[in-house]
Amino acid sequence: IRQKTATLIAACCSLGACSVKPDSPDVETFRKFGELCGMAFQIKDDLFDYGETAIGKPTGIDIKEQKMTLPLIYALNQASEKDRRWLINSVKNHNKDRKRVKEVIQFVKDAGGLEYAESKMHEYQDQALEILDNYPDSPYKDSLKLMVNYVVDRKK
């Protein structure tokens, strides 16, 4: 998760801080803020793969592309050895089979993978908002809060 969107948003946030105070501890603080925001963003994106709502991205696409997302990783960690072998085999060798992909999605849901991922996403959101609590109120702070909350509340 960290190597995807989180790195990009972290770089953008640290550069913003650097453009104002280049040698300030705020540069690292806002890098961390961006990383947390990006982690929440990526988890939200991963959750869309398991959703019922049409968002312009077909469900199961991450499984079809053999991507190991947080909900799937959680389900694998909770699964029995037999179920784990079935899951890995399904993702590696049967990822084009629509029925099998639907079964994997259902397994992840039944294992609590979505709830776990959602709770982690909210943890990252809360940590990012906590960072902003250390700064005075301003339109900039309000905009950053809006960004963090949008990342989690978005529908697409």
Question: What radius of gyration, in Å, describes the C-alpha atoms of the chain?
Answer: 18
pLDDT in tens, 90-133: 999 998 999 999 999 999 999 999 999 999 999 999 999 999 99
Host domain of residue 42: 2-153
Say which CATH number the domain at 48 has. 1.10.600.10
The DSSP secondary structure of the chain, one letter per residue, reads: -IIIIIHHHHHHHHHHHHHH-TTSTHHHHHHHHHHHHHHHHHHHHHHHTT-SS--SS-TTHHHHTT---HHHHHHHHHS-HHHHHHHHHHHHHSTT-HHHHHHHHHHHHHTTHHHHHHHHHHHHHHHHHHHHHTS---HHHHHHHHHHHHHHH---
Cα dihedral across residues 89, 81, 108, 119: positive or negative? negative
- With a cut of 80, say whether residue 86 has pLDDT above it: yes
pLDDT tens column, 40-79: 999 999 999 898 765 556 678 889 999 899 999 999 999 9
Tell me the whole-structure pTM to 2 decimals.
Answer: 0.91
Based on the structure, what is the number of domains in the chain? 1
